[in-house]
Chain A
Amino acid sequence: MSVLLIAEHNNNEVRPFTLNAITAASQIDQDLHVLVIGKKIDAVSKSISEIPNVKKVIAVDNEIYENYLAENFTPVIIKHSENYSHIVCSANTFGKNLMPRVAALLDTSQVSDIIKVISPDTFLRPIYAGNAFATVKSNDKKKCITIRPTSFDPAQTSGGSAEIIKAEKEEATSLTKFIKREEVKSDRPELGTARIVISGGRGMASGENFKLITAIADKLNAAIGASRAAVDAGYITNDHQVGQTGKVVVPDLYIAVGISGAIQHLAGMKESKIIVAINKDGEAPIFSVADYGLEADLFEALPQFLEELNKLNTIQK
Protein backbone atom coordinates (compact mmCIF):
# COMPACT_ATOMS: atom_id res chain seq x y z
CA MET A 1 0.00 0.00 0.00
CA SER A 2 1.21 3.51 -0.78
CA VAL A 3 -0.46 6.83 -1.28
CA LEU A 4 0.02 9.24 -4.17
CA LEU A 5 -0.88 12.83 -3.40
CA ILE A 6 -1.36 15.40 -6.15
CA ALA A 7 0.24 18.65 -5.04
CA GLU A 8 -1.46 21.97 -5.60
CA HIS A 9 0.94 24.82 -6.26
CA ASN A 10 1.23 27.89 -8.48
CA ASN A 11 4.56 26.86 -10.06
CA ASN A 12 6.37 29.07 -7.53
CA GLU A 13 5.12 27.86 -4.20
CA VAL A 14 3.14 25.07 -2.66
CA ARG A 15 -0.45 26.09 -1.99
CA PRO A 16 -1.10 25.86 1.75
CA PHE A 17 -3.89 23.26 1.52
CA THR A 18 -1.42 20.76 0.11
CA LEU A 19 0.10 20.65 3.60
CA ASN A 20 -3.22 19.74 5.20
CA ALA A 21 -3.83 17.10 2.57
CA ILE A 22 -0.38 15.65 3.30
CA THR A 23 -1.32 15.20 6.95
CA ALA A 24 -4.48 13.33 5.98
CA ALA A 25 -2.69 11.25 3.35
CA SER A 26 -0.02 10.13 5.79
CA GLN A 27 -2.77 8.96 8.14
CA ILE A 28 -3.93 6.63 5.36
CA ASP A 29 -0.45 5.22 4.87
CA GLN A 30 3.05 6.27 5.86
CA ASP A 31 4.44 5.52 2.42
CA LEU A 32 3.38 8.83 0.94
CA HIS A 33 4.61 10.02 -2.45
CA VAL A 34 3.78 13.40 -3.93
CA LEU A 35 3.24 14.06 -7.62
CA VAL A 36 4.13 17.61 -8.66
CA ILE A 37 2.93 18.58 -12.12
CA GLY A 38 3.72 22.04 -13.43
CA LYS A 39 6.08 24.33 -15.27
CA LYS A 40 9.50 25.16 -13.80
CA ILE A 41 8.72 23.44 -10.54
CA ASP A 42 12.18 22.78 -9.13
CA ALA A 43 11.61 25.04 -6.14
CA VAL A 44 8.18 23.59 -5.45
CA SER A 45 9.48 20.01 -5.67
CA LYS A 46 12.37 20.83 -3.38
CA SER A 47 10.17 22.37 -0.73
CA ILE A 48 7.84 19.36 -0.82
CA SER A 49 10.80 17.01 -0.49
CA GLU A 50 11.62 18.74 2.79
CA ILE A 51 8.30 17.82 4.35
CA PRO A 52 9.11 14.98 6.77
CA ASN A 53 5.93 13.02 5.97
CA VAL A 54 6.84 12.78 2.29
CA LYS A 55 8.86 9.74 1.19
CA LYS A 56 9.28 10.51 -2.49
CA VAL A 57 8.55 13.35 -4.92
CA ILE A 58 7.75 12.73 -8.57
CA ALA A 59 8.17 15.88 -10.64
CA VAL A 60 6.67 16.26 -14.11
CA ASP A 61 7.94 19.54 -15.48
CA ASN A 62 6.72 20.90 -18.79
CA GLU A 63 5.28 24.13 -20.12
CA ILE A 64 2.01 22.39 -21.01
CA TYR A 65 1.34 22.13 -17.28
CA GLU A 66 1.60 25.84 -16.52
CA ASN A 67 -2.15 26.13 -16.02
CA TYR A 68 -3.68 23.21 -14.24
CA LEU A 69 -6.10 21.89 -16.83
CA ALA A 70 -7.65 18.65 -15.64
CA GLU A 71 -7.48 17.34 -19.20
CA ASN A 72 -3.67 17.61 -19.11
CA PHE A 73 -3.06 16.52 -15.52
CA THR A 74 -5.23 13.40 -15.73
CA PRO A 75 -3.06 11.29 -18.10
CA VAL A 76 -0.01 11.94 -15.93
CA ILE A 77 -1.82 10.85 -12.79
CA ILE A 78 -3.28 7.76 -14.49
CA LYS A 79 0.18 6.75 -15.68
CA HIS A 80 1.67 6.99 -12.19
CA SER A 81 -1.36 5.58 -10.38
CA GLU A 82 -0.34 2.00 -11.10
CA ASN A 83 1.83 1.54 -8.04
CA TYR A 84 -0.51 3.10 -5.55
CA SER A 85 -3.49 2.02 -3.49
CA HIS A 86 -4.76 5.57 -2.92
CA ILE A 87 -4.77 8.71 -5.06
CA VAL A 88 -5.56 11.80 -2.99
CA CYS A 89 -5.77 15.59 -3.21
CA SER A 90 -7.49 18.52 -1.52
CA ALA A 91 -11.22 19.04 -1.92
CA ASN A 92 -10.95 22.63 -3.10
CA THR A 93 -11.73 23.81 -6.62
CA PHE A 94 -8.39 22.35 -7.79
CA GLY A 95 -9.10 18.85 -6.53
CA LYS A 96 -12.83 18.92 -7.17
CA ASN A 97 -12.21 19.69 -10.81
CA LEU A 98 -9.45 17.11 -11.22
CA MET A 99 -10.05 14.00 -9.13
CA PRO A 100 -13.36 12.75 -10.60
CA ARG A 101 -11.78 12.76 -14.04
CA VAL A 102 -9.04 10.52 -12.69
CA ALA A 103 -11.44 8.31 -10.72
CA ALA A 104 -13.69 7.64 -13.71
CA LEU A 105 -10.77 6.44 -15.82
CA LEU A 106 -9.61 4.17 -13.00
CA ASP A 107 -13.19 2.91 -12.66
CA THR A 108 -13.26 3.96 -9.03
CA SER A 109 -16.08 5.50 -7.04
CA GLN A 110 -14.48 8.58 -5.54
CA VAL A 111 -14.92 9.44 -1.87
CA SER A 112 -15.28 13.23 -1.75
CA ASP A 113 -14.38 15.69 0.96
CA ILE A 114 -13.35 13.45 3.84
CA ILE A 115 -12.99 15.02 7.28
CA LYS A 116 -11.48 12.02 9.08
CA VAL A 117 -9.46 8.93 8.24
CA ILE A 118 -10.94 6.05 10.23
CA SER A 119 -8.90 3.34 8.52
CA PRO A 120 -7.25 3.06 5.09
CA ASP A 121 -10.61 2.21 3.52
CA THR A 122 -13.09 3.93 5.85
CA PHE A 123 -13.66 7.65 6.12
CA LEU A 124 -15.97 10.22 7.64
CA ARG A 125 -17.55 12.79 5.32
CA PRO A 126 -20.22 15.46 5.72
CA ILE A 127 -23.39 15.23 3.60
CA TYR A 128 -26.38 17.54 3.28
CA ALA A 129 -24.37 20.69 3.89
CA GLY A 130 -22.86 19.22 7.03
CA ASN A 131 -26.21 18.38 8.60
CA ALA A 132 -25.20 14.73 8.68
CA PHE A 133 -21.90 12.88 8.88
CA ALA A 134 -21.59 9.63 6.91
CA THR A 135 -19.08 6.91 7.68
CA VAL A 136 -18.28 5.29 4.35
CA LYS A 137 -16.15 2.34 3.34
CA SER A 138 -14.67 2.20 -0.14
CA ASN A 139 -14.64 -1.26 -1.68
CA ASP A 140 -12.70 -0.26 -4.77
CA LYS A 141 -9.22 -1.71 -5.09
CA LYS A 142 -7.73 1.64 -5.94
CA LYS A 143 -9.21 4.50 -4.00
CA CYS A 144 -9.61 8.10 -5.10
CA ILE A 145 -10.13 10.49 -2.24
CA THR A 146 -10.44 14.22 -1.81
CA ILE A 147 -9.67 15.75 1.55
CA ARG A 148 -11.35 18.67 3.25
CA PRO A 149 -8.19 20.57 4.10
CA THR A 150 -9.55 22.52 7.03
CA SER A 151 -10.25 19.29 8.92
CA PHE A 152 -6.55 18.40 9.15
CA ASP A 153 -3.59 20.30 10.55
CA PRO A 154 -0.93 21.42 8.09
CA ALA A 155 2.12 19.13 7.90
CA GLN A 156 5.48 20.29 9.21
CA THR A 157 7.49 21.79 6.37
CA SER A 158 11.11 21.15 7.24
CA GLY A 159 13.47 18.40 8.31
CA GLY A 160 12.74 15.89 5.57
CA SER A 161 14.82 15.03 2.52
CA ALA A 162 12.80 12.87 0.19
CA GLU A 163 14.25 11.80 -3.12
CA ILE A 164 13.01 13.74 -6.17
CA ILE A 165 12.43 11.75 -9.34
CA LYS A 166 11.78 13.39 -12.69
CA ALA A 167 9.18 11.87 -14.96
CA GLU A 168 8.13 12.42 -18.56
CA LYS A 169 5.22 14.51 -19.72
CA GLU A 170 2.17 12.96 -21.32
CA GLU A 171 0.22 14.11 -24.35
CA ALA A 172 -1.37 17.55 -24.15
CA THR A 173 -5.04 18.14 -24.89
CA SER A 174 -6.10 20.09 -27.94
CA LEU A 175 -9.68 20.35 -26.73
CA THR A 176 -9.28 22.84 -23.92
CA LYS A 177 -7.39 26.09 -23.95
CA PHE A 178 -6.53 28.20 -20.93
CA ILE A 179 -7.28 31.85 -21.54
CA LYS A 180 -6.82 33.79 -18.32
CA ARG A 181 -7.07 33.81 -14.57
CA GLU A 182 -8.26 36.85 -12.68
CA GLU A 183 -6.76 36.49 -9.26
CA VAL A 184 -7.69 38.92 -6.60
CA LYS A 185 -4.35 39.76 -5.03
CA SER A 186 -4.28 40.90 -1.47
CA ASP A 187 -1.87 41.15 1.43
CA ARG A 188 -4.42 39.70 3.76
CA PRO A 189 -4.25 36.12 5.04
CA GLU A 190 -5.98 33.60 2.80
CA LEU A 191 -9.59 32.92 3.63
CA GLY A 192 -9.06 29.17 3.86
CA THR A 193 -6.21 29.33 6.36
CA ALA A 194 -6.70 32.61 8.24
CA ARG A 195 -6.83 32.50 12.04
CA ILE A 196 -9.59 35.11 12.06
CA VAL A 197 -12.31 35.63 9.45
CA ILE A 198 -14.81 38.47 9.40
CA SER A 199 -17.69 38.06 6.95
CA GLY A 200 -20.40 40.38 5.73
CA GLY A 201 -23.83 39.49 4.40
CA ARG A 202 -26.75 41.13 2.72
CA GLY A 203 -27.13 43.29 5.82
CA MET A 204 -24.04 45.26 4.68
CA ALA A 205 -26.38 46.79 2.07
CA SER A 206 -23.60 47.84 -0.33
CA GLY A 207 -20.07 47.08 -1.45
CA GLU A 208 -19.02 50.49 -0.20
CA ASN A 209 -20.07 49.55 3.33
CA PHE A 210 -17.65 46.62 3.31
CA LYS A 211 -15.01 49.20 4.26
CA LEU A 212 -16.36 48.87 7.80
CA ILE A 213 -15.38 45.21 7.63
CA THR A 214 -12.05 45.92 5.95
CA ALA A 215 -11.03 48.29 8.73
CA ILE A 216 -11.59 45.62 11.35
CA ALA A 217 -9.92 42.96 9.23
CA ASP A 218 -6.85 45.21 9.00
CA LYS A 219 -6.79 45.62 12.74
CA LEU A 220 -7.16 41.89 13.46
CA ASN A 221 -5.09 40.67 10.51
CA ALA A 222 -8.20 38.77 9.43
CA ALA A 223 -9.40 37.42 6.10
CA ILE A 224 -12.67 38.74 4.68
CA GLY A 225 -15.56 36.41 3.94
CA ALA A 226 -19.08 36.91 2.66
CA SER A 227 -22.42 35.20 2.28
CA ARG A 228 -23.66 34.16 -1.13
CA ALA A 229 -26.26 36.92 -0.97
CA ALA A 230 -23.50 39.52 -0.60
CA VAL A 231 -21.56 38.07 -3.55
CA ASP A 232 -24.68 37.75 -5.70
CA ALA A 233 -25.52 41.38 -4.96
CA GLY A 234 -22.07 42.36 -6.20
CA TYR A 235 -20.81 43.75 -2.88
CA ILE A 236 -17.68 41.59 -3.10
CA THR A 237 -16.05 39.02 -5.43
CA ASN A 238 -16.86 35.29 -5.49
CA ASP A 239 -13.54 34.17 -3.99
CA HIS A 240 -14.82 35.49 -0.64
CA GLN A 241 -17.91 33.30 -0.47
CA VAL A 242 -18.18 31.01 2.54
CA GLY A 243 -20.59 28.09 2.55
CA GLN A 244 -21.80 24.90 0.92
CA THR A 245 -21.14 26.21 -2.56
CA GLY A 246 -18.24 28.43 -1.54
CA LYS A 247 -15.31 27.89 0.79
CA VAL A 248 -15.19 26.04 4.06
CA VAL A 249 -13.34 27.89 6.81
CA VAL A 250 -12.40 26.79 10.31
CA PRO A 251 -10.73 29.80 11.91
CA ASP A 252 -10.18 30.36 15.63
CA LEU A 253 -12.58 33.28 15.35
CA TYR A 254 -15.39 33.80 12.83
CA ILE A 255 -17.33 37.04 12.94
CA ALA A 256 -20.59 37.04 10.96
CA VAL A 257 -21.98 40.51 10.32
CA GLY A 258 -25.42 41.03 8.81
CA ILE A 259 -25.65 37.35 7.93
CA SER A 260 -28.85 35.48 8.79
CA GLY A 261 -27.28 32.02 9.12
CA ALA A 262 -28.88 29.95 6.35
CA ILE A 263 -27.84 26.28 6.49
CA GLN A 264 -25.85 26.72 3.30
CA HIS A 265 -23.80 29.44 4.97
CA LEU A 266 -23.42 27.52 8.22
CA ALA A 267 -22.04 24.59 6.19
CA GLY A 268 -18.95 26.68 5.53
CA MET A 269 -18.20 28.03 8.98
CA LYS A 270 -19.90 26.22 11.82
CA GLU A 271 -16.78 24.25 12.77
CA SER A 272 -15.01 27.51 13.64
CA LYS A 273 -13.65 27.57 17.17
CA ILE A 274 -15.38 30.77 18.28
CA ILE A 275 -18.28 32.30 16.39
CA VAL A 276 -19.50 35.85 16.84
CA ALA A 277 -22.74 37.06 15.28
CA ILE A 278 -23.72 40.68 14.85
CA ASN A 279 -27.29 40.99 13.64
CA LYS A 280 -30.17 43.34 14.36
CA ASP A 281 -32.72 40.51 14.27
CA GLY A 282 -32.63 38.69 17.60
CA GLU A 283 -34.32 35.68 16.00
CA ALA A 284 -31.76 35.21 13.21
CA PRO A 285 -30.63 31.56 13.05
CA ILE A 286 -26.97 32.60 13.13
CA PHE A 287 -27.39 33.18 16.89
CA SER A 288 -28.03 29.46 17.39
CA VAL A 289 -24.41 28.66 16.47
CA ALA A 290 -22.81 31.80 17.91
CA ASP A 291 -20.71 31.66 21.07
CA TYR A 292 -21.19 35.40 21.41
CA GLY A 293 -24.19 37.08 19.88
CA LEU A 294 -24.64 40.82 19.66
CA GLU A 295 -28.09 42.01 18.72
CA ALA A 296 -27.34 45.39 17.21
CA ASP A 297 -27.36 47.49 14.08
CA LEU A 298 -24.10 46.74 12.34
CA PHE A 299 -23.66 50.34 11.22
CA GLU A 300 -23.36 51.32 14.86
CA ALA A 301 -21.68 48.16 16.12
CA LEU A 302 -18.81 47.96 13.61
CA PRO A 303 -17.38 51.46 14.26
CA GLN A 304 -17.66 50.80 18.01
CA PHE A 305 -15.95 47.45 17.54
CA LEU A 306 -13.03 49.14 15.82
CA GLU A 307 -12.87 51.73 18.57
CA GLU A 308 -12.78 49.06 21.28
CA LEU A 309 -10.07 47.16 19.42
CA ASN A 310 -8.06 50.35 19.18
CA LYS A 311 -8.23 50.64 22.95
CA LEU A 312 -6.58 47.26 23.47
CA ASN A 313 -2.86 47.35 24.19
CA THR A 314 -2.11 44.12 22.41
CA ILE A 315 -3.82 42.16 19.69
CA GLN A 316 -2.77 38.62 18.80
CA LYS A 317 -1.62 38.32 15.22
Chain B
Amino acid sequence: MKILVAVKRVIDYNVQVRVKEDGTGVVTENVKMSTNPPDDNAIEEAVKIKESGKAKEIVAITVGEDKAQETVRKALAVGADRGIHIKVDGTIEPLAVSKILQKIVDKEKPDLIFMGKQAIDDDCNQTGQMLAALLNWPQATFASKIEVKDKSLEVTREVDEGLETIEVNIPAIVTCDLRLNEPRYASLPNIMKAKKKPIEQINGSELGIDIKPRIEQIKVEEPPKRKAGIKVASVAELVQKLKNEAKVI
Protein backbone atom coordinates (compact mmCIF):
# COMPACT_ATOMS: atom_id res chain seq x y z
CA MET B 1 0.00 0.00 0.00
CA LYS B 2 1.14 3.53 -0.76
CA ILE B 3 0.24 6.50 1.42
CA LEU B 4 0.36 10.10 0.28
CA VAL B 5 0.53 12.67 3.07
CA ALA B 6 -0.10 16.38 2.46
CA VAL B 7 1.84 18.75 4.69
CA LYS B 8 1.49 22.50 4.84
CA ARG B 9 3.90 25.14 6.11
CA VAL B 10 2.21 27.61 8.44
CA ILE B 11 3.12 30.17 11.06
CA ASP B 12 4.16 28.25 14.17
CA TYR B 13 1.29 27.76 16.60
CA ASN B 14 3.23 29.44 19.40
CA VAL B 15 3.62 32.71 17.51
CA GLN B 16 1.38 35.58 18.53
CA VAL B 17 0.15 36.57 15.08
CA ARG B 18 0.13 40.29 14.29
CA VAL B 19 -1.94 42.08 11.69
CA LYS B 20 -0.05 44.31 9.21
CA GLU B 21 -0.75 47.98 9.62
CA ASP B 22 -1.79 48.42 6.01
CA GLY B 23 -4.52 45.79 6.43
CA THR B 24 -3.19 43.50 3.70
CA GLY B 25 -2.55 40.46 5.85
CA VAL B 26 -0.57 39.29 8.83
CA VAL B 27 3.13 39.75 9.46
CA THR B 28 5.04 36.74 8.13
CA GLU B 29 8.53 38.23 7.81
CA ASN B 30 10.94 36.86 10.41
CA VAL B 31 8.22 34.77 11.95
CA LYS B 32 8.85 31.16 12.92
CA MET B 33 7.18 28.74 10.53
CA SER B 34 6.45 25.05 11.12
CA THR B 35 4.48 22.15 9.79
CA ASN B 36 0.75 22.56 10.39
CA PRO B 37 0.31 20.59 13.67
CA PRO B 38 -2.28 17.98 12.58
CA ASP B 39 -0.16 17.27 9.50
CA ASP B 40 2.46 15.92 11.89
CA ASN B 41 -0.21 13.51 13.13
CA ALA B 42 -0.97 12.54 9.53
CA ILE B 43 2.69 11.69 8.89
CA GLU B 44 2.99 9.85 12.20
CA GLU B 45 -0.02 7.68 11.40
CA ALA B 46 1.37 6.81 7.98
CA VAL B 47 4.71 5.87 9.52
CA LYS B 48 3.01 3.68 12.11
CA ILE B 49 1.06 1.87 9.41
CA LYS B 50 4.26 1.32 7.46
CA GLU B 51 6.01 0.02 10.57
CA SER B 52 3.18 -2.46 11.08
CA GLY B 53 3.96 -3.84 7.63
CA LYS B 54 0.72 -2.69 6.04
CA ALA B 55 2.21 0.02 3.85
CA LYS B 56 5.22 -0.02 1.57
CA GLU B 57 5.80 3.60 0.73
CA ILE B 58 5.03 7.03 2.17
CA VAL B 59 5.17 10.08 -0.07
CA ALA B 60 5.01 13.54 1.54
CA ILE B 61 3.73 16.38 -0.58
CA THR B 62 3.49 20.10 -0.12
CA VAL B 63 2.18 22.93 -2.25
CA GLY B 64 3.79 26.29 -1.73
CA GLU B 65 6.82 28.51 -2.09
CA ASP B 66 10.43 27.25 -1.98
CA LYS B 67 10.62 27.25 1.79
CA ALA B 68 7.63 24.91 2.01
CA GLN B 69 10.16 22.16 1.21
CA GLU B 70 11.20 22.32 4.87
CA THR B 71 7.94 20.61 5.82
CA VAL B 72 8.63 17.79 3.36
CA ARG B 73 12.18 17.46 4.69
CA LYS B 74 10.79 17.15 8.20
CA ALA B 75 8.36 14.47 7.06
CA LEU B 76 11.24 12.58 5.47
CA ALA B 77 13.13 12.80 8.77
CA VAL B 78 10.35 11.04 10.67
CA GLY B 79 9.82 8.27 8.14
CA ALA B 80 8.42 9.36 4.78
CA ASP B 81 10.33 7.77 1.89
CA ARG B 82 10.29 10.54 -0.65
CA GLY B 83 8.86 13.97 -1.22
CA ILE B 84 7.10 16.07 -3.80
CA HIS B 85 7.14 19.85 -3.79
CA ILE B 86 4.72 21.66 -6.04
CA LYS B 87 6.09 25.13 -6.34
CA VAL B 88 3.55 27.95 -6.33
CA ASP B 89 3.97 31.46 -5.09
CA GLY B 90 1.37 33.61 -3.43
CA THR B 91 -2.10 32.82 -2.24
CA ILE B 92 -3.47 29.43 -3.07
CA GLU B 93 -6.96 28.46 -1.99
CA PRO B 94 -7.99 24.98 -0.81
CA LEU B 95 -9.88 24.36 -4.07
CA ALA B 96 -6.70 24.97 -6.05
CA VAL B 97 -4.60 22.87 -3.66
CA SER B 98 -7.06 20.01 -4.05
CA LYS B 99 -6.97 20.27 -7.85
CA ILE B 100 -3.18 20.15 -7.76
CA LEU B 101 -3.24 17.16 -5.43
CA GLN B 102 -5.74 15.46 -7.74
CA LYS B 103 -3.22 15.68 -10.61
CA ILE B 104 -0.54 14.14 -8.44
CA VAL B 105 -2.88 11.39 -7.26
CA ASP B 106 -3.63 10.51 -10.89
CA LYS B 107 0.09 10.00 -11.39
CA GLU B 108 1.11 8.47 -8.06
CA LYS B 109 -2.00 6.32 -7.55
CA PRO B 110 -1.79 6.14 -3.74
CA ASP B 111 -4.15 3.89 -1.80
CA LEU B 112 -4.57 6.32 1.06
CA ILE B 113 -4.22 10.06 1.45
CA PHE B 114 -3.70 11.49 4.91
CA MET B 115 -4.01 15.20 5.65
CA GLY B 116 -4.55 17.49 8.61
CA LYS B 117 -8.14 18.22 9.58
CA GLN B 118 -7.59 21.96 9.31
CA ALA B 119 -4.71 24.31 8.75
CA ILE B 120 -4.22 26.54 11.76
CA ASP B 121 -3.59 29.66 9.67
CA ASP B 122 -6.72 29.95 7.56
CA ASP B 123 -8.76 27.40 9.48
CA CYS B 124 -10.56 26.60 6.23
CA ASN B 125 -11.01 22.92 6.93
CA GLN B 126 -11.69 22.15 3.28
CA THR B 127 -8.83 20.63 1.36
CA GLY B 128 -9.29 16.95 2.24
CA GLN B 129 -13.03 16.97 1.62
CA MET B 130 -12.57 18.81 -1.68
CA LEU B 131 -9.96 16.36 -2.88
CA ALA B 132 -12.24 13.46 -1.89
CA ALA B 133 -15.02 14.99 -3.97
CA LEU B 134 -12.81 15.55 -7.01
CA LEU B 135 -11.53 11.97 -6.87
CA ASN B 136 -14.93 10.57 -5.91
CA TRP B 137 -13.29 8.82 -2.98
CA PRO B 138 -14.80 8.27 0.45
CA GLN B 139 -13.74 10.69 3.18
CA ALA B 140 -13.13 10.17 6.87
CA THR B 141 -12.67 13.59 8.44
CA PHE B 142 -11.50 14.56 11.96
CA ALA B 143 -10.04 11.11 12.63
CA SER B 144 -8.93 10.25 16.14
CA LYS B 145 -8.46 6.52 15.50
CA ILE B 146 -7.70 4.53 12.37
CA GLU B 147 -7.81 0.77 12.01
CA VAL B 148 -6.47 -0.67 8.77
CA LYS B 149 -8.46 -3.65 7.52
CA ASP B 150 -8.15 -5.72 4.40
CA LYS B 151 -9.74 -3.44 1.85
CA SER B 152 -11.02 -0.71 4.09
CA LEU B 153 -10.32 1.51 7.07
CA GLU B 154 -12.39 1.76 10.20
CA VAL B 155 -12.13 5.33 11.38
CA THR B 156 -13.34 6.96 14.59
CA ARG B 157 -14.25 10.60 13.96
CA GLU B 158 -14.56 13.41 16.48
CA VAL B 159 -17.90 15.09 15.91
CA ASP B 160 -19.84 17.66 17.92
CA GLU B 161 -22.03 15.00 19.53
CA GLY B 162 -19.10 12.80 20.56
CA LEU B 163 -17.54 10.04 18.48
CA GLU B 164 -18.65 8.47 15.23
CA THR B 165 -17.26 5.37 13.58
CA ILE B 166 -17.39 4.76 9.85
CA GLU B 167 -15.84 2.29 7.45
CA VAL B 168 -14.39 3.61 4.22
CA ASN B 169 -13.24 1.52 1.28
CA ILE B 170 -9.68 1.94 0.09
CA PRO B 171 -8.72 4.18 -1.71
CA ALA B 172 -9.77 6.78 0.84
CA ILE B 173 -8.92 10.17 2.28
CA VAL B 174 -8.50 10.71 5.98
CA THR B 175 -8.15 14.09 7.68
CA CYS B 176 -6.44 13.79 11.04
CA ASP B 177 -7.16 15.27 14.45
CA LEU B 178 -4.41 16.07 16.95
CA ARG B 179 -5.61 13.24 19.17
CA LEU B 180 -4.90 10.58 16.55
CA ASN B 181 -1.42 9.89 17.91
CA GLU B 182 1.67 11.41 19.47
CA PRO B 183 4.01 12.57 16.69
CA ARG B 184 7.60 11.46 17.22
CA TYR B 185 10.61 13.73 17.07
CA ALA B 186 13.18 13.24 14.36
CA SER B 187 16.48 11.85 15.61
CA LEU B 188 19.69 13.46 14.44
CA PRO B 189 20.78 10.45 12.35
CA ASN B 190 17.37 10.41 10.70
CA ILE B 191 17.56 14.11 9.95
CA MET B 192 20.90 13.45 8.25
CA LYS B 193 19.48 10.50 6.32
CA ALA B 194 16.51 12.59 5.24
CA LYS B 195 18.86 14.96 3.45
CA LYS B 196 19.63 12.17 1.00
CA LYS B 197 16.01 11.24 0.33
CA PRO B 198 14.68 12.58 -2.97
CA ILE B 199 12.27 15.51 -3.27
CA GLU B 200 10.78 15.92 -6.71
CA GLN B 201 10.09 19.52 -7.64
CA ILE B 202 7.23 20.32 -9.95
CA ASN B 203 6.39 23.78 -11.10
CA GLY B 204 2.74 24.47 -10.30
CA SER B 205 2.29 26.45 -13.50
CA GLU B 206 3.13 23.35 -15.55
CA LEU B 207 0.16 21.38 -14.27
CA GLY B 208 -2.31 23.25 -16.42
CA ILE B 209 -4.63 24.15 -13.56
CA ASP B 210 -6.23 27.50 -12.99
CA ILE B 211 -5.15 28.34 -9.46
CA LYS B 212 -6.10 31.99 -9.47
CA PRO B 213 -7.81 32.90 -6.20
CA ARG B 214 -11.57 33.20 -6.42
CA ILE B 215 -11.78 34.93 -3.12
CA GLU B 216 -10.57 38.46 -2.84
CA GLN B 217 -9.12 39.49 0.44
CA ILE B 218 -10.34 43.01 0.95
CA LYS B 219 -8.73 43.67 4.28
CA VAL B 220 -7.34 42.04 7.36
CA GLU B 221 -7.83 43.76 10.67
CA GLU B 222 -7.34 43.21 14.35
CA PRO B 223 -10.34 41.80 16.14
CA PRO B 224 -12.00 44.14 18.60
CA LYS B 225 -10.05 44.15 21.87
CA ARG B 226 -11.70 43.17 25.12
CA LYS B 227 -11.48 45.89 27.67
CA ALA B 228 -9.26 45.04 30.58
CA GLY B 229 -11.01 43.42 33.51
CA ILE B 230 -10.27 43.43 37.20
CA LYS B 231 -8.95 41.01 39.76
CA VAL B 232 -11.26 40.17 42.62
CA ALA B 233 -9.94 39.43 46.09
CA SER B 234 -12.28 36.65 47.10
CA VAL B 235 -14.90 34.21 45.91
CA ALA B 236 -17.55 36.19 47.77
CA GLU B 237 -16.60 39.32 45.86
CA LEU B 238 -16.67 37.40 42.57
CA VAL B 239 -20.19 36.13 43.18
CA GLN B 240 -21.39 39.59 44.21
CA LYS B 241 -19.94 41.10 41.02
CA LEU B 242 -21.51 38.43 38.83
CA LYS B 243 -24.86 38.96 40.50
CA ASN B 244 -25.00 42.73 40.89
CA GLU B 245 -22.59 44.23 38.37
CA ALA B 246 -22.52 41.84 35.40
CA LYS B 247 -26.02 40.52 36.22
CA VAL B 248 -25.33 37.14 34.65
CA ILE B 249 -26.31 34.83 37.51
Which residues in A have some Cβ–Cβ distance to B below 8 Å?
69-71, 74, 92-94, 96-105, 107-113, 122, 126-140, 173-184, 192, 196, 220, 228, 231-232, 237-239, 244-245, 247, 252-253, 263-264, 270, 273-276, 282, 287-296, 301, 304-305, 308-309, 312, 315-316
Min CB gap A205→B, angstroms: 19
**Residues in B whose Cβ lies below 8 Å from that of A294:** 231-232, 234-235, 238
**Residues in B whose Cβ lies below 8 Å from that of A263:** 13, 16
Q: Which stretch from B67-75, B79-87, B114-122 is at the chain A interface?
A: B114-122
- The 8 Å CB contact of A192, one of B13, B157, B160, is B160
- The 8 Å CB contact of B163, one of A101, A173, A181, is A181
Nearest to B141 among chain A residues (CB) is A97
On whether A69 and B166 interact (CB within 8 A), knowing A103-B130, A126-B123, A253-B248, the answer reads yes
User: B111 within 8 Å of A by Cβ?
Assistant: no
Roughly how many angstroms separate A192 CA and B161 CA in the complex, as a whole number? Answer: 11
**Residues in A whose Cβ lies below 8 Å from that of B217:** 134-136
Roughly how many angstroms separate A137 CA and B38 CA in the complex, as a whole number? Answer: 28
Roughly how many angstroms separate A308 CA and B141 CA in the complex, as a whole number? Answer: 44
Nearest to B95 among chain A residues (CB) is A109
**Residues in B whose Cβ lies below 8 Å from that of A177:** 166-168
- The 8 Å CB contact of B220, one of A133, A228, A308, A316, is A133
Min CB gap B97→A, angstroms: 11
**Residues in B whose Cβ lies below 8 Å from that of A69:** 166
List 18 additional A-B contacts (Cβ < 8 Å) besides A101-B133, A175-B168, A177-B167. Answer: A69-B166, A70-B141, A71-B139, A92-B160, A94-B159, A102-B133, A104-B95, A104-B98, A109-B96, A128-B123, A132-B222, A136-B215, A181-B165, A182-B165, A238-B163, A245-B118, A253-B249, A294-B232
Roughly how many angstroms separate A228 CA and B13 CA in the complex, as a whole number? Answer: 14
On whether A228 and B178 interact (CB within 8 A), knowing A112-B123, A126-B223, the answer reads yes
On whether A93 and B214 interact (CB within 8 A), knowing A104-B134, A263-B16, A312-B239, the answer reads no
Min CB gap A118→B, angstroms: 9
Contact call A296/B235, Cβ cutoff below 8 A: yes
Contact call B213/A109, Cβ cutoff below 8 A: yes
On whether A289 and B130 interact (CB within 8 A), knowing A104-B98, A108-B214, the answer reads no
Sampled A-B contacts (20; CB under 8 Å):
A70-B129, A93-B142, A93-B160, A101-B133, A109-B213, A110-B95, A112-B124, A133-B221, A175-B172, A176-B167, A179-B154, A220-B249, A231-B179, A275-B229, A282-B231, A287-B231, A291-B229, A293-B232, A294-B235, A316-B249
Contact call B94/A181, Cβ cutoff below 8 A: no
On whether A245 and B162 interact (CB within 8 A), knowing A103-B130, A316-B249, the answer reads no
Contact call B235/A180, Cβ cutoff below 8 A: no
